[in-house]
Structure 1
Amino acid sequence: MVVPTYDEALNLAWIVERLRRAQPDFDVLVVDDDSPDGTGRIADELAAADPHVSVLHRTAKGGLGAAYLHGFAHALDAGYDVIGEMDADGSHQPEQLDRLYAALADADLVIGSRWVPGGSVVNWPRRRELLSRGGNLYVRLLLGVRVRDATAGFRLFRRTTLEKIDLATVRSTGYVFQTDLVARTLNAGLTVREVPIEFVERVRGDSKMSGAVATESLKRITEWGLRERSRRVRAALGSGRGRR
């Protein structure tokens, strides 16, 4: 499991302990973006005490997507066949990871979803829930994907999936990275499954989500959607001329 961190000193040891207890056969890769609060040092201590934990230290805060891309490249080089992602703040519960792993039997990407039947959120204000639901509806309408929670960050990928979606061309660095990878997976003709999870709002530390981050994500999604629709129109016009 790839776990990106920035200023998660209050949560990291707690979530890694839960993950290792819930899934003893899973290895954990912490990718720290030079956290000033000492998260990287805590990660090193965890790695020194447990051979199933390792750490990548990045030299600056480069964004969620950049951290995941670094972690994915490391995991692929190490030969892992299943590569996952989850937050370090406790919002993704390791005890529910078995649901994702079971669904991977007939999928290429499995998403722990808040917005499918059985999914839920805990301790979210109504405004944030509406923002997330509305954002995902916008993604479905604009990009034409059927995934209910394309922005979710609790996932398992098959190795072959990450190899097929051309990670080298991914330029998304923030939270829109999650939507980017869903769209790429579907466009590659691969299977995406969603399983319900209970998402719990963090109780320690500060959220990295902000209005500016959400606005930037919607802007990028709009650009993708308009570009894709333009491509489809050109293809349709070209096809029509070819039949004359």
Structure 2
Amino acid sequence: MKLLTAIPVHNEEKYLEEVLRQVLRHADDVLVVDDGSKDRTPELLKGFPEVRVIRHPTNLGYGAGLRTAFGAALDGGYDALVTLDCDGQHEPALIPEVAAKLAEADMVSGSRYLQVFDPSQRPPEERRRINVEVTRWLNECLGLNLTDAFCGFKAYNRRALECFEVTDLGYAMPLPIWVQAVQHGLRIVETPVPLIYLDESRAFGGSLDDSTYRLNHYRQVFSDALKAAGLEVAGGCRG
């Protein structure tokens, strides 16, 4: 299986070098999508000549970074894509394990709530509350059985990538992707990954830093995605 591992980054000078060193131990073909970083990220990336870099001239958003990664995997003739974040919250050693689960699915999604790896690790309460609520929407409206709506540690086979159109360039990007996955009948599995929070102060930016605004934004994006897909949602949906 020809596998690409992609990492979207924006101003990740704090974690970039250590994350890349770890990723390169477990992945042969690595892409970093630099979404308009203004810190030392571009300079630090020069120290990793074995890593391919695609740079957005300006910051377009988390979803835009993943859209570029999806396109690179398809254009490069890859059979599969693994994505993970660059904030130290994902364990690169699990890349082979996550990718291997594509033998039974089109889309593998990491879950930080399937298994407790470290009882001392707890998510910020506001983020956990929103994740629980959005995960409920996905399960009730799409007939899924997920435990984590927003984990960025995922794997996709080529069939899945060919189905997706990234319609939200920001942090709500996963919601239309979940809808499209169901729309196209993709096989989805979750796999346990550790819950790691190294920096609880990280912000979403702008209005999204307000949790009420963020949840309402997610609700609107999800509703729009359902309408665009023409899905007849499962009974009891209260998204």
TM-score, normalising length: structure 1:
0.81
SS of the residue corresponding to residue 46 of structure 2 reads helix
Judged with a 3 Å threshold, the aligned counterparts in structure 2 of structure 1 residues 42 and 230 are, in CA distance, closer, same or farther, namely: closer
Counterpart among 26, 29, 42 of residue 40 in structure 1: 42
Describe the shift of the 1:230–1:166 C-alpha distance in structure 2 as closer, same or farther (beyond 3 A). Answer: closer
Higher helix share: 1
Q: Aligned runs of 1:148-187 on 2, under 5 Å?
A: 148-163=147-162, 165-167=163-165, 170-187=166-183
Once the two structures are superposed, the pairs formed by residues 188-207 of structure 1 within 5 Å of their partners are: 188-203=184-199, 206-207=202-203
Gap change, CA 1:230 and 1:58, over 3 Å in 2: closer
- 2:24 maps to 20
**% identical equivalent positions:** 26
For residues 36-185 of structure 1, the aligned pairs below 5 Å read 36-46=38-48, 48=49, 51=50, 53-117=51-115, 122-163=121-162, 165-167=163-165, 170-185=166-181
Q: Equivalent residue for 2:218?
A: 217
- Larger mean Cα displacement after TM superposition, 89-98 or 136-145: 136-145
User: 2-side partners of 1:89 and 1:4: how far apart?
Assistant: 10
Measured in 1, the distance between the counterparts of 2:224 and 2:72 equals: 30
Mark the CA change 1:126 to 1:180 in structure 2 (over 3 Å): closer, same or farther: same
* Unaligned stretches of 5+ residues in structure 2: 234-239
Classify 1:32/1:214 alpha carbon distance in 2 versus 1 (closer, same or farther; 3 Å). Answer: farther
Separation in 2, partners of 1:91, 1:213: 21
CA–CA separation in structure 2 for the residues paired with 1:156 and 1:229: 22
- 1:150 Cα deviation from its structure 2 partner: 2.8
Query: What amino acid is the match of 1:17?
Result: R
Distance 2:65 2:126 in 1: 28
How far did 1:60 drift?
0.9
Number of the residue aligned with 2:237? none
Counterpart contact for 1:175–1:213, Cα < 8 Å: no
How far did 1:54 drift?
0.8
Q: Does 1:11 align with 2:7?
A: no
- 8 Å CA contact 2:115–2:193 kept in 1: the answer is no
CA deviation after TM superposition for structure 1 residue 215, in Å: 3.6
- Alignment gaps of 5+ in structure 1: 234-244
SS at match of 1:8: coil
CA contact (8 A) 1:136 1:148 kept: yes
Which structure is larger by alpha-carbon Rg, 1 or 2? 1
Root mean square deviation of aligned Cα? 2.5
Moved more, 210-219 or 65-74: 210-219
Displacement of 1:192 after TM fit?
0.6
Partner secondary structure for residue 221 of structure 2? helix
CA spacing shift, 1:120–1:76, aligned 2, 3 Å: farther
Query: What TM-score comes out, normalization by structure 2 length?
Result: 0.82
SS of aligned partner of 1:199: coil
Distance across 1 between alignment mates of 2:9 and 2:228:
33
